[in-house]
Amino acid sequence: GAGVSQSPRYKVAKRGQDVALRCDPISGHVSLFWYQQALGQGPEFLTYFQNEAQLDKSGLPSDRFFAERPEGSVSTLKIQRTQQEDSAVYLCASSPRGLAGAVEQFFGPGTRLTVL
Amino acid sequence: LAKTTQPISMDSYEGQEVNITCSHNNIATNDYITWYQQFPSQGPRFIIQGYKTKVTNEVASLFIPADRKSSTLSLPRVSLSDTAVYYCLFPSGYALNFGKGTSLLVTP
């Protein structure tokens, strides 16, 4: 079956622009995660959804970052007034159950954001 | 917040067994130890998970001593395609804490 997909795969933005990154999780997966991965670093947690509820947004670096999953399936990560330090790969992951940690997470290929 | 420590990089030749050890001194009682693999330009991929003793699947083995303060990922007979970054981690709340991982380079 289809895995997690993300679009666009690459995004170039001018500093100050708003961007929206899309994640299509595996169908039926309850949990959805967003991570940010800087060059040469491991992924860092941004936020977690269980169905449409955003249960943890502690990793969002500033109030310029906003995520939603209104119908409990597709999710969008929006970054307002992008800055150069926002340049990174943004990874989306989903898992079939509501309990994280002990459950395998399935990752998408990521969106590489470059802010000029 | 619990932390993991693993070597930054390792080199191996094709056909050898590779063991990557991870230290996690302050792991919580009910935490599972999980390993992920990441190729360039791809998202991480789950390899194996365990709680104690030994777990084996078609890809790797995971050894966890009784005190659970470390774990060792064992890759039998690596090939060039095993060149990747390997992350030892366990959950913190809802998140997975990846750290920097171990960059494994396999050469002919």
- pLDDT tens, position by position, B44-55: 999 999 998 999
pLDDT in tens, B17-26: 999 999 988 8
CA dist A11 and A88 (Å) reads 10
Interface test with B, best of A97, A105, A112, A113 (most B CBs within 10 A): A105
Contact B96 A105 (CB under 8 A): yes
Number of structural domains found in chain B: 1
pLDDT at A102: 54
| Residue B22: closest CA among B99, B106, B91 | B99
**Ordered per-residue pLDDT tens for chain A, 116 residues:** 589 999 999 999 999 999 999 999 999 999 999 999 999 999 999 999 999 999 999 999 999 999 999 999 999 999 999 999 999 999 999 998 876 555 788 999 999 999 99
CB nearest A41 (choices: B90, B95, B100): B100
pLDDT at A1: 57
Contact B43 A59 (CB under 8 A): no
Residue of B nearest to A98 (CA): B94
For residue B15, pLDDT over 80 is answered with yes
pLDDT at B97: 81
CB nearest B43 (choices: A40, A44, A91): A91
Domain-embedded: residue B2: no
Residue B5 carries which DSSP code?
Answer: B
In the 3-class helix/strand/coil scheme, how is chain B assigned residue by residue? CCCCECCCEEEEECCCCEEEEEECCCCCCCCCEEEEEECCCCCCEEEEEECCEEEECCCCEEEECCCCCEEEEEECCCCHHHCEEEEEECEECCEECCCCCEEEEEEC
Chain Cα centroid distance, residue B22: 7
Domain-embedded: residue B3: no
Domain-embedded: residue B77: yes
pLDDT at B27: 83
Superfamily the domain A5-111 falls into: Immunoglobulins (2.60.40.10)
pLDDT band at B63 (very low <50, low <70, confident <90, very high): very high
Q: What is the CATH number of the domain that holds B48?
A: 2.60.40.10
The interface residues of chain A toward chain B in range 13-72, judged by CB-CB distance below 8 A, are 31, 33, 35, 40-45, 48, 55-56, 58-59
Domain-embedded: residue B79: yes
Mean pLDDT computed over every residue of chain B: 91
Domain-embedded: residue B4: no
Domain ranges (residues) in chain A: 5-111
Q: Mean pLDDT, to the nearest integer, of B72-88? A: 96
**Domain hosting residue B41, numbered range:** 9-107
pLDDT at A97: 80
